[in-house]
A and B are shown apart, each in its own frame.
Chain A
Amino acid sequence: MDMASLPRAVELACPAARNSRWHPGGQAALHSEIFTPGTEASGAGAALALALDGMRASARESEGAPKDDTQERCILWVQDMKAQRLAGRPYRPGLPEALRHRLIHVAAKTPEDALFALEEGVRCRDLACVIGEVAGNPRALDFTASRRLSLAAKRHGVPLFLVRLNAEHDLSSARMRWDVVAAPSAPPLWNPAAPGHPAWQAQLFRARTHAPGEWTLRDEGSFLAAERPPERHADTATSPDPAPANHGDLDLRTGARSLAAL
């Protein structure tokens, strides 16, 4: 009997580990594609949230190991001209706190230049991850180009998140392909009339190691929460651990207690 086929202790302890469905907190796929409309920043936000989630997962895994400098590595954000005009440039004060000081932005003129920059970024050992934004379906970004990116990412272990603005689902070798649109955010506790933490309706429509599915992703600052849509939630016995109750802006460590009691 092959010992390798038996479940490992960690998988028995945590049902999510054997779950074929995607769940946050796992290792990020090395090449993901995120399709999103050009009028919203959901794609970029979701890419950053997934990247941060992956970084936290690898930090957890290497806990106890000699201090890794992943936490301080730069991230590369490549945009082609059209994407930059359509969805704007990254704005440092609005970036997640952990990434503000380590962003390097590349403004490429053409999709060809953007692909070159992406590949160079993926090959660089000193980058934590690479985020690309390409508008439409340029001729240069065909299956060969995406296969090249996949192989480079796999070889050098740098995760690549390619945000496709206003794009059709064309052929691609990306390991995970998402459709992301904005979702109404949870109302903050202190001002329910204001927009809250960002939320996205994310549909994983093609993945190599996971079953397709649909989630509502919420960036809660220190972790990424994912809820299955309510109508399917009942019948999935192997659903990931239930999403934490929604407390809006409230610090989750306080549980349901009022902050005034602290």
Chain B
Amino acid sequence: MAIWTCELALDRWRHSEACTAGEGADAQPLALITETAHGPRIDAANVAARAEGSVCGMMLADARTLCPHLQVRPSDPAGDLAFLERLAVWAQRWGPWSAIDAPDGLLVDVTAVAHLFGGERRLLADVAQRCKARGLSVRSAVAPTAGAAWALAHYAPPEAILTPGDDIADRLADLPVAALRLDNDVLLVLRRLGLKRLGDLAGIGEGANGRDAVHRRFRNRKSPAANPLIRMDQLRGRVPEPLLPVIPLSAALVQRRLMEPIRHRNLLDKVVEDLAADMARELEGRGEGARRLQLGLWRVDGEVVLRDLELAAATRDPAHICRLFAAKLDDVDAGFGIEMLRLRASWAEPLKLGQADLEAAAEEHGTSLAACIDRLTVRLGTAAVQRPVLRASHIPERAQGWQPPLEAEAPQQEELAFHARPLKLLDQAERIAVLYASPDGYPRRFRWRGGVFEVARVEGPERIAPEWWREKGSTRLRDYYRIEDDTGRRYWIYRAGIAGDGRGGEPDWFLQGLFA
């Protein structure tokens, strides 16, 4: 079932003004506008304004020339969308799940539901009646596919019903091609091609040659909204059309209002402790653990201080949460006092109930890994605590990436066993000055960080070519050597380029890694 709220913005405005359609403030010509780069533009116009010649999408200046006494109000698209979300949840009274069809429509799955309301006709009557009671003007339709229901709701007589027995293409043949939910430029193309009705397109689409022609015309358009053939197939139910259902989620929230505003840290800590205990109970009831927590402190003088906390693994241990917040509350300015505290778990993950530590085992045996990582990230930042992972690259510094420590590792091919790689890699390869090179091409003596190194043993070169798909053509290849100097220090050095490769002058030498 598709529900189209044809005048969503105006209905919301009327609701805020507490007037019914055509009465009070709505009796005068009125338009809702947004500011654009070219001046104010009309988003929605009421009946009186439309009678005077204003239409949606018109510039306000043009509308004013037609109707000088046009009233304007700012429109609120974000508010409309939020309202639509709430409406989608409300619409689940007619079916098990619903989806938003932005900007002003809803899709409700009413498969095998209609008989509960006494048939499709009475279901639609119920929709109309309840929406009217809420002050919404809607058009609704029932059809076997979402596309067909949408088309009927927007372009057919109100309360159209398509039963599964009907031939969809046949019933919808008279609707304009705009009923396919296409982009404006595609509609323009279709109009220029002379395809105005769904029947025209369906007639072409049936024959093998015609379908090929349309397919060729739109072969580069992969998104359904730009390709009429895909939309036509979705409308007939030949290809699936996934919809994103709206699922109401409520974040766990606990708060404390205080009789006396608090100004001292020890009292604040006590209240945070209470809140954490409440939160733990709340989360336990839901079988969840918090991953992200937000603590809001409302001050008497109207300021709000927010503190966010992100956790490495789902937890609901009040002591752990308190400890992490304690580090973040050091710089809170209480002003004249804090009168309300609110703790919200904006991201929670399922966490099974576990046996709590009966004795002081936790204190004896230390913290768990997740708690340890939380403490480290709270003080040092998320970028400081990471785990090295392999990346698909053979350039040594790119072969290693970093990711949060407790995240699952993507499968990667290990480094080949015959590649000897250093234990440590410098963040930046450091340039070395070669004092004396052997005829074979590797240095016998070089200077690095102010010291002179005599090379005693060498293995190499291992040639690593630049990644041409990622770098410029002028990037030079690298010849890596494992070396050991006369006192046993082992390094990984490379020569950037070879003499005469046409990518710069004499090749430079760099020291990149330190072997154990």
List the interface of chain A (C-beta within 8 A of B). Answer: 39-42, 44-46, 48-49, 74, 84-85, 87-95, 101, 103-109, 113, 116-117, 120-121, 123-127, 156, 158, 181-185, 187, 191, 193-195, 198-201, 219
Chain A residues near B384: list those with CB within 8 A.
Answer: 106-109
Q: Is the CB of B379 within 8 A of A87?
A: no
Give the residues from 440 to 458 in chain B that come closer than 8 angstroms, CB to CB, to chain A: 448-449, 451, 456-458
Q: Specify which of B366, B409, B449, B513 lies most central, judged by the most chain A CB atoms within 10 Å of its CB.
A: B366
Q: Is the CB of A91 within 8 A of B367?
A: no
The 8 Å CB contact of B366, one of A90, A107, A156, is A156
Q: Is the CB of B487 within 8 A of A182?
A: yes
The 8 Å CB contact of A120, one of B372, B456, B516, is B372
Minimum distance in angstroms from B114 CB to a CB of chain A: 56
Q: Is the CB of A182 within 8 A of B427?
A: no
Chain A residues near B329: list those with CB within 8 A.
Answer: none
Please encode chain B, from 361 to 397, with 1 for each CB lying within 8 Å of some chain A CB and 0 for all others.
Answer: 0000111110111011001100111111110000010
Please encode chain B, from 10 to 52, with 1 for each CB lying within 8 Å of some chain A CB and 0 for all others.
Answer: 0000000000000000000000000000000000000000000
Q: What are 6 residue pairs bridging A and B, where the CB atoms are less than 8 Å apart in the complex?
A: A39-B489, A41-B516, A46-B516, A48-B516, A94-B425, A105-B387
A193 CA / B387 CA spacing, docked (Å): 35
Give the residues from 408 to 465 in chain B that come closer than 8 angstroms, CB to CB, to chain A: 409, 414-415, 419-427, 448-449, 451, 456-459
Residue of A nearest to B516 (CB): A45
Q: Is the CB of B400 within 8 A of A182?
A: no
Name A's interface SS: mixed
Chain A residues near B376: list those with CB within 8 A.
Answer: 106, 117, 120
Q: Tell me whether B302 is interfacial, beta carbon within 8 Å.
A: no
Q: Is the CB of B419 within 8 A of A194?
A: no
Residue of A nearest to B383 (CB): A107
Chain B residues near A109: list those with CB within 8 A.
Answer: 380, 384
Q: Specify which of B368, B379, B388 lies most central, judged by the most chain A CB atoms within 10 Å of its CB.
A: B388
Chain A residues near B427: list those with CB within 8 A.
Answer: 84-85, 88-89
Q: Tell me whether B273 is interfacial, beta carbon within 8 Å.
A: no
Chain B residues near A39: list those with CB within 8 A.
Answer: 448-449, 451, 489
A108 CA / B451 CA spacing, docked (Å): 28
Residue of B nearest to A108 (CB): B380
Residue of A nearest to B422 (CB): A94
Residue of A nearest to B369 (CB): A126
Q: Is the CB of A92 within 8 A of B368?
A: no
Q: Is the CB of A91 within 8 A of B386?
A: no
Chain A residues near B483: list those with CB within 8 A.
Answer: 195
Name B's interface SS: mixed
Q: Tell me whether B196 is interfacial, beta carbon within 8 Å.
A: no
Q: Is the CB of B369 within 8 A of A88?
A: no
Q: Is the CB of B516 within 8 A of A219?
A: yes
Chain A residues near B387: list those with CB within 8 A.
Answer: 103-105
Q: Is the CB of A184 within 8 A of B484?
A: yes
Q: Tell me whether B139 is interfacial, beta carbon within 8 Å.
A: no
Chain B residues near A183: list those with CB within 8 A.
Answer: 487-488
Chain A residues near B422: list those with CB within 8 A.
Answer: 41, 91, 94
Q: Tell me whether B495 is interfacial, beta carbon within 8 Å.
A: no
A183 CA / B515 CA spacing, docked (Å): 12
Q: Tell me whether B514 is interfacial, beta carbon within 8 Å.
A: yes
A183 CA / B229 CA spacing, docked (Å): 73
Chain B residues near A182: list those with CB within 8 A.
Answer: 487-490
Q: Is the CB of B369 within 8 A of A95?
A: no
List the interface of chain B (C-beta within 8 A of A). Answer: 365-369, 371-373, 375-376, 379-380, 383-390, 396, 399-400, 402, 405, 409, 414-415, 419-427, 448-449, 451, 456-459, 482-484, 486-490, 513-516
**Assuming A39-B489, A41-B515, A92-B390, is B457 touching A194 (CB within 8 A)?**
yes
Residue of A nearest to B373 (CB): A104
Minimum distance in angstroms from B369 CB to a CB of chain A: 4
Q: Is the CB of A124 within 8 A of B369?
A: yes
A182 CA / B514 CA spacing, docked (Å): 11
A107 CA / B419 CA spacing, docked (Å): 27
Q: Is the CB of A91 within 8 A of B421?
A: yes
A219 CA / B405 CA spacing, docked (Å): 28
Q: Is the CB of A195 within 8 A of B424?
A: no
Q: Is the CB of B514 within 8 A of A127?
A: no
Q: Is the CB of B369 within 8 A of A91?
A: no
A45 CA / B424 CA spacing, docked (Å): 9
Residue of A nearest to B483 (CB): A195
Chain B residues near A87: list those with CB within 8 A.
Answer: 424, 426, 514
A90 CA / B516 CA spacing, docked (Å): 11
Q: Is the CB of A193 within 8 A of B458?
A: yes
Residue of A nearest to B490 (CB): A195
A109 CA / B384 CA spacing, docked (Å): 9
A93 CA / B400 CA spacing, docked (Å): 8
Chain B residues near A48: list those with CB within 8 A.
Answer: 423, 516
Chain A residues near B380: list those with CB within 8 A.
Answer: 106-109, 113, 117
Minimum distance in angstroms from A225 CB to a CB of chain B: 14
Q: Is the CB of B424 within 8 A of A125?
A: no
Residue of A nearest to B385 (CB): A106
A124 CA / B374 CA spacing, docked (Å): 12
A45 CA / B490 CA spacing, docked (Å): 11
A46 CA / B515 CA spacing, docked (Å): 11
Q: Is the CB of B484 within 8 A of A195?
A: yes
Q: Is the CB of B516 within 8 A of A127?
A: no
Minimum distance in angstroms from B360 CB to a CB of chain A: 13
Additional pairs, 20, CB under 8 Å, beyond known A46-B516, A94-B424, A109-B384:
A41-B422, A48-B423, A48-B516, A74-B369, A88-B513, A89-B427, A93-B399, A94-B513, A101-B409, A103-B388, A106-B384, A108-B380, A125-B365, A126-B372, A127-B369, A156-B365, A184-B487, A194-B457, A195-B482, A195-B490
A121 CA / B405 CA spacing, docked (Å): 14
Q: Is the CB of B366 within 8 A of A158?
A: yes
Q: Is the CB of A184 within 8 A of B368?
A: no
The 8 Å CB contact of B515, one of A123, A126, A195, is A195
Chain A residues near B389: list those with CB within 8 A.
Answer: 92
Chain B residues near A46: list those with CB within 8 A.
Answer: 516
Chain B residues near A113: list those with CB within 8 A.
Answer: 379-380
Chain B residues near A156: list those with CB within 8 A.
Answer: 365-366
Chain A residues near B424: list those with CB within 8 A.
Answer: 41, 44, 87-91, 94
Chain B residues near A41: list those with CB within 8 A.
Answer: 422-424, 490, 514-516
Chain A residues near B372: list those with CB within 8 A.
Answer: 120-121, 123-124, 126-127
A44 CA / B396 CA spacing, docked (Å): 20
Minimum distance in angstroms from A38 CB to a CB of chain B: 8
Chain B residues near A44: list those with CB within 8 A.
Answer: 423-424, 516
Q: Specify which of B415, B424, B425, B458 lies most central, judged by the most chain A CB atoms within 10 Å of its CB.
A: B424
Q: Is the CB of B457 within 8 A of A187?
A: yes
Chain B residues near A185: list those with CB within 8 A.
Answer: 484, 488, 490
